[in-house]
């Protein structure tokens, strides 16, 4: 007896094109590799480093001003309000203590009694008098008298300490507000770096730009390769920093950043990318940190903007799309194309291999050029007349025979 068995429904996956099926594993592998790589500097310029097990924390208090400036805004404002409130409360308590010890609070209704501070009848009024003294408000209702020397001394101390507190806290807030960190928000770096040919040489390039009309004065650019290495002695150096020459010798690292600029690093024998090919770059774990420094034109303070590129963000065989166009009487920058790149023909080998191939092809070329030049050095009549060429060949043979005979004679004489 046959039984009907329900077969589960089979959902057929849509068949992808061959190119998409081949590229999909590569894209997934690149995505997984990019997730595993830990950045040393994030794309927004913040360093991804945390300091732990710091035992000598007293060093932060020795430079208390910088410590307060480096705090976050919420904590900074809290400390700002707390310092003023504590000083007002402390000196308010001191004014109340003087009034209490002198007996002013017991003679409030006695018109013949001369208090230290007129109209001070409790801690609240003492606190208000402390605020008026330190902030130099002076409403005129509560006034110190000349019959209280301890009050005069306390007034001098509060005036001096209040000025110091004002200078310290206001200075701290001023530096906090005027920090040029936010100026770096308008300094942009391209999302990707590219490697392609420029003037017959393999070059690493990235683009920088300034979104503001107020320019960065004396702008300069630096780049470093962050990559772990192992020495010949077996020592492992994590996150080793190697300088990348972006025009230090020629002055190209000093920028006139009015419009976006493409920063170029020529991959030569001194470059850390000399032996890196396209296949090697896809597997290597490295990071390029770029640092743009300069002075803010409005304030004169030094500003620094940072970014980084990991291996998956370095595109081999690409160039940047031009963003500068000439309009009617001015140049216009299209920042919509700032991060755009396009593919170009670029050899996949390393710069070292490319130089070796160029050297191998240059030697026969030199021979052919020398032969051409020797032929061009002869008179036209000699080049065209075959009899002349034959006579020249015979003369060369005779000279060669004579030279050989001289050599043989010299050898026979040396034997004798």
Residue 290 reports pLDDT greater than 80 = yes
Tens-digit pLDDT profile for residues 36-77:
678 999 998 889 888 888 888 888 888 888 888 889 999 999
pLDDT more than 70, % of the chain: 78
> Which run of H or of E encompasses 193?
strand 193-198
Of 324, 65, 300, 72, the closest CA to residue 178 belongs to: 300
CATH class of this structure's domain 183-356: mainly beta
**Sign of the alpha-carbon torsion through 33, 36, 40, 41:** positive
Buried b (16+ CB within 10 A) or exposed e, 327-348: eeeeeebeeeebebbeeeebbe
Query: Residue ranges per domain, the chain?
Result: 60-178, 183-356
| Domains 60-178 and 183-356 in one fold | no
Structure tokens at 410: 């010299």
- Average pLDDT of the segment spanning 165-173: 92
pLDDT tens profile 362-409: 655 444 444 444 444 444 444 445 454 455 455 555 555 444 444 444
- Six-digit token pair at 345? 């023909």
pLDDT band at 23 (very low <50, low <70, confident <90, very high): low
Q: What pLDDT is recorded for position 78?
A: 95
List 26's β-bridge partners, or say none: none
Confidence class of residue 276 from pLDDT cuts 50, 70 and 90? very high
Cβ pair 92, 130 in contact under 8 A: yes
Q: Which residues, in sequence order, are bridge partners of residue 237? A: 229
**Closest by CA position to 207, among listed 260, 273, 266:** 260
- Where are the alpha helices (H) located in 188-343, listed in sequence order? 278-283
- Determine the pLDDT at residue 31: 57
The confidence score (pLDDT) of residue 64 equals 87
pLDDT confidence of residue 11: 42
CATH code for the domain defined by 60-178: 1.10.287.70
Token pair, residue 112, equals 């013949």
Position 373 scores a pLDDT of 42
pTM: 0.67
Rounded to an integer, the average pLDDT of 74-92 is: 94
pLDDT tier for residue 213 given thresholds of 50, 70 and 90 = confident
């Amino acid at each position: 007896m046959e039984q009907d068995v329900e077969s589960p429904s089979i959902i057929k996956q849509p068949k992808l094109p061959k190119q998409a099926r081949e590229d999909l594993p590569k894209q997934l592998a690149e995505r997984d590799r990019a997730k595993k790589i830990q950045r040393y500097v994030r794309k927004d310029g913040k360093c991804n480093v945390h300091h732990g097990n710091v035992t000598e924390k007293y060093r932060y208090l020795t430079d208390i001003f910088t410590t307060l400036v480096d705090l976050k805004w919420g904590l900074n404002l809290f400390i700002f309000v707390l310092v003023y409130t504590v000083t007002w409360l402390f000196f308010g308590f001191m004014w109340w203590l003087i009034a209490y010890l002198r007996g002013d609070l017991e003679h409030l209704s006695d018109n013949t009694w001369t208090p230290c501070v007129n109209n001070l009848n409790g801690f609240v009024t003492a606190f208000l008098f402390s605020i008026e003294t330190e902030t130099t408000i002076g409403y005129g209702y509560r006034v110190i008298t000349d019959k209280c020397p301890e009050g005069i001394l306390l007034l001098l101390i509060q005036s001096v300490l209040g000025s110091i507190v004002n200078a310290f806290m206001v200075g701290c807030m001023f530096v906090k507000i005027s920090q040029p960190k936010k100026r770096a928000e308008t300094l942009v770096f391209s999302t990707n770096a590219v490697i392609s040919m420029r003037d017959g040489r393999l070059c690493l390039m990235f683009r920088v730009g300034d979104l503001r009309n107020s320019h960065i004065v004396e702008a300069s650019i630096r780049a470093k390769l962050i990559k772990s290495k192992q020495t010949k002695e077996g020592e492992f150096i994590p996150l080793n920093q190697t300088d990348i020459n972006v025009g230090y010798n020629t002055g190209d690292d000093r920028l006139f950043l009015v419009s976006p600029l493409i920063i170029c690093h020529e991959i030569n024998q001194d470059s850390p990318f000399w032996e890196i090919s396209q296949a090697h770059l896809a597997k290597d774990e490295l990071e390029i940190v770029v640092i743009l420094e300069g002075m803010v034109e409005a304030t004169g303070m030094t500003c620094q903007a940072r970014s980084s590129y990991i291996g998956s963000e370095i595109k081999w065989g690409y160039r940047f799309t031009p963003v500068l166009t000439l309009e009617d009487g001015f140049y216009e920058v299209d920042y919509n194309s700032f991060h755009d790149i396009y593919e170009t023909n670029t050899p996949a080998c390393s710069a070292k291999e490319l130089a070796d191939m160029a050297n191998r092809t240059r030697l026969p070329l030199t021979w052919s050029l020398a032969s051409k030049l020797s032929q061009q050095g002869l008179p036209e009549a000699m080049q065209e007349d075959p009899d002349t060429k034959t006579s020249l060949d015979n003369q060369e043979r005779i000279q060669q025979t004579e030279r050989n005979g001289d050599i043989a004679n010299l050898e026979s004489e040396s034997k004798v």
